[in-house]
Amino acid sequence: MTDTTVKLSDAEIRAQMLRDFWYHFKQNKGAVAGLFVFILLVIAAVLAPLLAPHDPTEQFRDALLVPPVWAENGRAGFWLGTDAVGRDMLSRLIYGAQYSLFIGVVVVSIALSGGIFVGMIAGYFGGWIDNLIMRVMDVILAFPSLLLALVLVAILGPGLTNAMIAIAIVYQPHFARLARAAVMGEKEREYVTAARVAGAGNLRLMFKTILPNCLAPLIVQATLSFSSAVLDSAALGFLGMGAQPPASEWGTMLAEAREFILRAWWVVTFPGLAILISVLAINLMGDGLRDALDPKLKKS
Amino acid sequence: MQDAILTIRNLTVTFATATGSFTAVDGIDVRVSPREVLAIVGESGSGKSVSMLAVMGLLPETATVTADEMVFDGHDLLRLTPAERRQLIGREITMIFQEPIASLNPSFTVGFQIEEVLRLHMGLGRAAARARAIELFEAVGIPDPAAKIHAYPHQMSGGQCQRVMIAIAIATNPRLLIADEPTTALDVTIQKQILDLLTALQESHGMALILITHDIGVVAETADRVVVQYKGHKMEEADVLSLFEAPQHPYTRALLSALPENATGDRLPTVSDFFGAEGVR
Amino acid sequence: MIRFLLTKLLYLVPTFLGITLIAFGFVRVLPGDPVLLMAGERGLTPERHAELAAQLGFDRPMWAQYLEFLTRLLHGDLGNSLVTKKPVLAEFFALFPATLELAFVAIVIATVIGVPVGVLAAVKRGSWFDQVSMTAALVGFSMPIFWWGLLLIILFSGILQWTPVSGRISLLYFFPAQTGFMLIDSLLSGQKGAFSSALSHLILPSIVLATIPLAVIARQTRSAMLEVMGEDYVRTARAKGLPRARVVMVHALRNAMIPVITTIGLQVGVLMAGAILTETIFSWPGIGKWMIDSISRRDYPVVQSGLLLIAGLVMLVNLLVDLTYGLINPRIRHK
């Protein structure tokens, strides 16, 4: 038998890892369904102006609280009915996808980068820096997340941007903890020592050498935080602290709909359903990601 | 040869895995007589543990067990009724495993774990079970048995935990005890003690003992007969003296040559020296 | 064990101080004049302003203010509400039982349903029960609970008219609060129908609040059980010929419960956040609703102290969870 070890280039190795990952991910039908729905969501958000039948803020004075098209008194043109001031539900829902995706991306980016940075420094340097940073994280974690976000928004003033910042701050500790644990696990490994001996500085070691090997749990947490961000920002919107009316954010839509729950069920049902489906899709993907990345984790 | 207490013919065990079906055991035969010590020797992956786990019914659901015959004392192990199963497994046939501390439940005292066997299978009441447990601990050489009854597995050493496992295994006076690599995870100094304990108990209780090991050196002192396995197949079977004096199969010869005691020359041979990279067969 | 306890207690101190710092700093970070914010009076003359500033301590350096804040805190003085003019601490204790009752019933529901479902799903892995229950759990976990509450109101209060829409008990009943727990008080009052009224008011909000913890507990129990059932000692239990039920319910479950109990305890913190939304929807007069109302009414003494109290509460619960973990994990309890 001949010795058949061929040296693959970095790009080829990465391509192989991607193929392995996709093979495992595909096995989980729920995850694939989630991915599919998520892609639909992205399409809805990006192509909203093309897909929505009406302008989301346009009020049709002659079509207040119209039921969905299949119900009694439904009107063609307003597929999912209209709200209390005559705005088309379907269009608002489609534009709402923009908010949800935007919120998810922004919140996760801030929380991820901030949390990783802080967590890596804590794990890498250890000692009093680690203690200090982790105490701060513990303090943040002691507050129920929604409450802290609410108070932060109260300080900063209601609105979408402030809501996103508040939520991102509240999620940071989760990423910080994961990053710290990962760094502490990898710090003493040989490849790190090798790089250090070769003259790599601390920053480079942390972010170019160690970090790429700790990505799996961080990615899983990122999907979880994405879905939580959508839920929490909807909650803030529902409480009047997030995106302000007339924004067609799904949570804000629910806040406006609250007084009509017994009269017009569609104004309440559809935005919530949109939230549920989006969050469910992302959570399904997250589950699939975790399972697909796990065997790789164990192998390494 | 007397009537065998355990007869296995053409046993095959396959596992369903993500990458297809894997055959761990391929058509092996095993016979054990009452009061006999049989050693099953092989390297990792030879399927030696799997065949015995199949006998006990301890394989996961992904495993498929087929055999022409798998009979213990007249009972067909492949088609056990629940009542028969309760009679046999854990009672007439018992098993001990490789990692003694991990094999005991960390949340219960060792006393609890042996007493539940005494109460279930031997029908003893609380006090009687407690007394018998202490006796058994003494019989397996656990110092200060009355105190150790209240100990948790993590408070004891590996050797002591294995003694507990042995005590549990002999508590029901089984006809057959299967020991799956009982000393592999233990200190070298303890290994001999445990093996001696096993052989002593085997004699005094008059039970059959199947000793699974990868250490062919251990076999010489303990076994009556030896089965050599490799990659799920049986390579050779012989009584211990014949095996050591005149090994028939090349694999057996390779194993024996690899023993440090048999070393001649300055380099210790390995199995692949005898077979090349294609492996055995 | 003792050392374990002491370490946990020790860590509380800096964390608690951190919490007080945040609560303290919060008012001072707000835009606007802190004196005006905390005094709640309008149209202050310069003399009155200075008077209030001195009274509230705003004229002193920051560290002195913080120390004063801490001292007052340790004496139980958390300021007065701007709206009701009553001490914040007293209001907290008046409203807390409502939230506690709701949270308690919710966690009981979540545990009593979640744990058995998780165990069964693990034991029957891959079966339809496993798949259906875990999918249901994922849906429950992905649900916006304020929407879920509204839906249930539509269904049970609106369409079926089985349950009331808001409050803790029908307005027909009035009796003094002895324990603060409506279920107990209604029984003690002896009034006919009071208990069932209290119960019917409690059912919907507690189901809504229980949903997410239930989903989390079910999933956690399942994965803990799966992990435990693959352990060597479970194989030993089977090898001993123990009946299947005993292997699962005694040997496996006992060990799986260790991480699960931790999860249950930590869910209490989640409940505090969830209570905010649930109490808002059902007009349940607990501390969640109190906080929301105070934030929108700009009742800053309440917000500041409420934050402190709730965070302190969560910290306490987490400590209890840590202690319980130390007790039930034999490796820590018996060194």
| Residue B31: other Cβ atoms inside 10 A | 17
Q: Residue A77 — very low, low, confident or very high, per pLDDT cuts 50/70/90?
A: confident
Q: Which residues of B touch C239 (CB under 8 A)?
A: 56, 58, 89-90, 94-95, 97
Q: How far is A238 from chain C (nearest CA, A)?
A: 8
Query: Between B and C, how many residue pairs show a Cβ–Cβ distance under 8 A?
Result: 67
Please answer whether residues C140 and C211 qualify as being in contact, where contact means their C-beta atoms are separated by less than 8 angstroms. yes
> How far is Cα C145 from Cα C128, in angstroms, rounded to an integer?
26
| Per-residue pLDDT tens digits for B78-100 | 888 888 888 889 999 999 999 99
Q: How far is B80 from chain C (nearest CA, A)?
A: 13
User: Quick check: B111 contacting C, CB < 8 Å?
Assistant: no
Contact: C314, A145; criterion CB under 8 Å: no
Q: Which residues of C touch A147 (CB under 8 A)?
A: 272-273, 276, 291, 307, 310
Percent of chain B with pLDDT over 90: 47
CA-based torsion, C208, C210, C216, C221: positive or negative:
negative
Please name the helix (run of DSSP H) or strand (run of DSSP E) that holds residue B29, with its range, or none.
Answer: strand B20-32
Query: Quick one: pLDDT at residue A200?
Result: 76
Q: How far is C22 from chain A (nearest CA, A)?
A: 9
Please answer whether residues B99 and B88 qualify as being in contact, where contact means their C-beta atoms are separated by less than 8 angstroms. no
Percent of chain A with pLDDT over 90: 15
User: Quick check: B148 contacting C, CB < 8 Å?
Assistant: no
| Per-residue pLDDT tens digits for B63-74 | 899 999 999 988
Spell out, as residue ranges, where chain C has pLDDT lower than 70: 30-34, 36-43, 57, 335
pLDDT (mean) for B179-185: 91
Q: Residue B105 — very low, low, confident or very high, per pLDDT cuts 50/70/90?
A: very high
The DSSP output letter for A244 is P
Nearest residue to C13 (alpha-carbon basis) of A3, A131, A260, B173 = A131
Mean pLDDT in chain B?
87
Backbone φ, ψ for residue B13 (5° rounding): -125, 125
Q: Which residues of C touch B155 (CB under 8 A)?
A: 334
Mean pLDDT in chain A?
83
Please answer whether residues A221 and A171 qualify as being in contact, where contact means their C-beta atoms are separated by less than 8 angstroms. no
Place of tokens 């890498």: A124
Nearest residue to B40 (alpha-carbon basis) of B248, B218, B279 = B218
| Per-residue pLDDT tens digits for C84-132 | 888 888 888 888 888 988 999 999 999 999 999 999 999 998 889 998 9
C265 vs B279 pLDDT, higher one: C265
At B83, list the tokens.
């009542």
pLDDT (mean) for B17-41: 88
Contact: C235, B102; criterion CB under 8 Å: no
Q: Residue A267 — very low, low, confident or very high, per pLDDT cuts 50/70/90?
A: confident
Backbone φ, ψ for residue B66 (5° rounding): -130, 145
Contact: A227, C269; criterion CB under 8 Å: no
> How far is Cα B94 from Cα B205, in angstroms, rounded to an integer?
13
Strands (E), chain A: none
> How far is Cα B117 from Cα A102, in angstroms, rounded to an integer?
61
Contact: B103, C254; criterion CB under 8 Å: no
Please answer whether residues C5 and C327 qualify as being in contact, where contact means their C-beta atoms are separated by less than 8 angstroms. no
> How far is Cα A247 from Cα A231, in angstroms, rounded to an integer?
17
Helix axes A265-299, A10-27, angle to 10 degrees: 130
Backbone φ, ψ for residue B237 (5° rounding): -140, 130
User: Quick check: C331 contacting B, CB < 8 Å?
Assistant: yes
Query: Quick one: pLDDT at residue B150?
Result: 93
> How far is Cα B140 from Cα B150, in angstroms, rounded to an integer?
17
Please name the helix (run of DSSP H) or strand (run of DSSP E) that holds residue A37, with its range, or none.
Answer: helix A29-46
Nearest to C150 among A136, A146, A261 (CB): A261
Predicted complex ipTM exceeds 0.90:
no
Cis peptide before A246 (omega within 30 of 0): yes
pLDDT (mean) for A41-53: 87
> How far is Cα C143 from Cα C149, in angstroms, rounded to an integer?
10
Query: Quick one: pLDDT at residue C39?
Result: 67
Per-residue pLDDT at A226 exceeds 90: yes
> What is the distance in angstroms between the CA of the first residue and the CA of the last residue of chain B?
29
Nearest to C331 among B86, B106, B116 (CB): B106
| Per-residue pLDDT tens digits for A12-21 | 877 887 887 7
Contacts of C72-81 spanning 24+ positions with Cβ under 8 A: C73/C20, C73/C308, C78/C301, C78/C305, C78/C308, C78/C309, C79/C38, C79/C301, C79/C304, C79/C305, C80/C301, C81/C294, C81/C299, C81/C301, C81/C302
- The model's pTM is 0.85
A182 vs B269 pLDDT, higher one: A182
> How far is Cα B196 from Cα B179, in angstroms, rounded to an integer?
13
Query: Quick one: pLDDT at residue B281?
Result: 46
User: Quick check: C244 contacting B, CB < 8 Å?
Assistant: no
Residue of C nearest to A233 (CA): C144
Query: Quick one: pLDDT at residue C41?
Result: 66
- Pair type for strands B75-76 and B69-72: antiparallel
Q: Residue A1 — very low, low, confident or very high, per pLDDT cuts 50/70/90?
A: very low
DSSP line for C235-281: HHHHHTT--HHHIIIIIIHHHHHHHHHHHHHHHHHHHHHHHHHHHHH
Per-residue pLDDT at A4 exceeds 60: no
At C328, list the tokens.
């039930």
DSSP line for B220-264: HHH-SEEEEEETTEEEEEEEHHHHHHS--SHHHHHHHHTSGGG--
Contact: C146, A150; criterion CB under 8 Å: no
